[in-house]
Structure 1
Amino acid sequence: MYSVGELARKANITVRTLHHYDQIGLLKPSGSTEGGHRLYSDEDVMRLEQISILKKMGLGLKAVHEMLDSYGTDWLSCLEDQLQMVQREKEKLEELESMLRVTIHSVQIEGTLNWNAMFQMIRLSQKDPAAKQRFIREHFTAEERKLLHKLPNLNKDDPLTMRWTEEVAQAKAVMHEDPASPAAQEVAARITTLALEAFDGNHTLMNKYWELHGAEDNPMNLYPFEPELLEFLNAAFEYYDRTQTAHEAAAPPKPFVGKNRRK
């Protein structure tokens, strides 16, 4: 038999903890001295080790008490039930993490906590995955679908998403300027470069995706652009495309280079 002090030293816990376990009925000593001091048996030591293991698994004392008293030696059922509880908690934490990331991105873009934008972003992030897949299959070919996985995701903090968030914030900062202004065109150029990177240089897919952006039934919208920002971006992109086309048309033809080049 072990005294309360001996068991505390053996288990590397405090005497106060053992007193608390006794008070709540989690671990009662099997005996006592003539003077009324607690004495613990080897079976008590085993129960204390079980309590320690379950606590390390994340259970609170109430849950530990219920599991030890309800399941007895049926540890398989005990562990399976605990695993299911952990999985449910994991799903809740992942949902909370997603909402926090979405909110952070919204603040980065808006410069403040825009509740309307945040609510819309959270709704977008919680769209039914099946509806999203149906939309993708209806509007994109098999080859196009292979490239969509690289799109920015506001639920994550990958480098592409972070860069995209910064560019949208810059677009909002200059959205009241002329879309043909140098500042607006710099934003248009950077977003176009970023989009081409996401779509592996596929201009057709990039334009197709942008044309679908903003549709109310589109579960793939990257961000709930306000109408003024969307109008500004469309005008900036249109001017940027015209300018790029004009520059390419005015560029001198490149000389033929190769091993059969005539001298």
Structure 2
Amino acid sequence: MYIHINELARRTEITVRTLRYYDSIGLLRSSSKTEGGHRLYVEEDLKKLQQIQFLKNMGYALKDIHEMLSDTSWNWEQSLRNQLHYIIEEQQRLQSMELSVREMLHSLVLEQGDQHEAIEKLIQLSRPKAAKLQSLREALFHRDELELWKKLPRMQGNDPHSLEWIALLGQLKSHLHEPPACDKVQSIIRRMMEKQQEDFGGQDDFLNKLWEARKSTKTSDELGLYPLEPELLDYMEAAYDIFISNESEQHNGY
């Protein structure tokens, strides 16, 4: 019993155009044609088409599928091992791309949508070598503090912790034109202080070392920290000082 090309397309959810293309390259020839020239298929053709789609979903190219289904001596085990190796490499490549895209999105938040500035800073951030970074960190921080380093927000991170820190820094940067004592800025600083206490409560030595390293453009770059302008760091420090002073006055007033 013949299956009309339109019926085959409906059953398999493959377009008629694709079926015609498969026929033209010899991947899936129609078994017959109607008097009007429409392609007709049999159940064996349907099974072969399902095999084609199955292999295509595994990432094989049509040329390879043609050889696999027509060569009776095809080494399926080796072919599958090669395909698995390719897929793993592709996953690693896509993961690297995903991290780069996420990093760029987060950088745009910090740079107020300035894509050129974001790209320049990410280029700068990518320069240090991993081995050198670790050596510098070990020189500045002791073992326990290096464990705390892992808790710092990451530009490539997609965790709520990193995303909130990035958003807070972006908000703070957007208010650089306002006095650091204004309510909006102090509200941002309050949340930063809360997060600092949540993540690093009682680790003042580590935070002081980190801040001194952050204020040095050279050290910050060598440690692989995201580049922040000295203007923003000075503004943040002034806002922090005001916040702490206000908190101290309120505490002494009770």
Separation (CA, whole Å) in 2 of partners of 1:240 and 1:168: 16
Letter of the 1:218 partner, please give it: L
The structure showing larger relative contact order (alpha-carbon pairs under 8 Å, at least 6 residues apart) is 2
Separation (CA, whole Å) in 2 of partners of 1:21 and 1:211: 65
Shift in CA distance, 186/19, structure 1 to aligned 2, threshold 3 Å: closer
Q: Does 1:94 align with 2:99?
A: no
**What is the CA-CA distance between 1:247 and the residue it aligns to?**
6.0
SS at 2:150 equivalent? helix
Give the aligned partner of residue 231 of structure 1: 234
Normalised by the length of structure 1, the TM-score is: 0.73
Separation (CA, whole Å) in 2 of partners of 1:69 and 1:205: 66
Separation (CA, whole Å) in 2 of partners of 1:68 and 1:132: 51
Separation (CA, whole Å) in 1 of partners of 2:101 and 2:9: 43
**What is the CA-CA distance between 1:124 and the residue it aligns to?**
2.4
Residues 4, 18 of structure 1: 8 Å contact kept = no
Residues 68, 74 of structure 2: 8 Å contact kept = no
Q: Does 1:8 align with 2:8?
A: yes
Shift in CA distance, 238/69, structure 1 to aligned 2, threshold 3 Å: farther
Letter of the 1:167 partner, please give it: L
**What is the CA-CA distance between 1:32 and the residue it aligns to?**
6.1
Letter of the 1:76 partner, please give it: E
Higher alpha-carbon Rg: 1
CA RMSD of aligned residues (A): 3.7
Letter of the 1:237 partner, please give it: Y
Residues 148, 199 of structure 1: 8 Å contact kept = no
**What is the CA-CA distance between 1:217 and the residue it aligns to?**
0.9
Larger displacement relative to structure 2 (55-64 or 201-210):
55-64
The aligned runs of 1:39-188 (5 Å cut-off) are 42=44, 47-65=48-66, 68=69, 72-121=73-122, 123-124=124-125, 128-188=129-189
**What is the CA-CA distance between 1:207 and the residue it aligns to?**
1.9
Residues 8, 14 of structure 1: 8 Å contact kept = no
Separation (CA, whole Å) in 1 of partners of 2:131 and 2:73: 42
Letter of the 1:8 partner, please give it: L
**What is the CA-CA distance between 1:243 and the residue it aligns to?**
5.0
Give the aligned partner of residue 196 of structure 1: 197
Residues 196, 206 of structure 1: 8 Å contact kept = no
Deviations 1:2-58, CA, capped at 9 Å, x for gaps? 7454993897356654442221122346x769x99777695x666434312111223
**What is the CA-CA distance between 1:200 and the residue it aligns to?**
4.3
Give the aligned partner of residue 217 of structure 1: 222
**What is the CA-CA distance between 1:230 and the residue it aligns to?**
1.7
Separation (CA, whole Å) in 2 of partners of 1:90 and 1:244: 50
Normalised by the length of structure 2, the TM-score is: 0.75
SS at 1:175 equivalent? coil
Unaligned runs of 5+ in 2: none
SS at 1:147 equivalent? helix
Deviations 1:100-154, CA, capped at 9 Å, x for gaps? 2222222323332341233313552675444443333332222222222222122
Unaligned runs of 5+ in 1: 253-263
Give the aligned partner of residue 28 of structure 2: 27
Separation (CA, whole Å) in 1 of partners of 2:22 and 2:157: 43
Sequence identity (%) = 32
Residues 117, 224 of structure 1: 8 Å contact kept = no
**What is the CA-CA distance between 1:159 and the residue it aligns to?**
1.3
Residues 71, 77 of structure 1: 8 Å contact kept = no
Larger displacement relative to structure 2 (13-22 or 101-110):
13-22
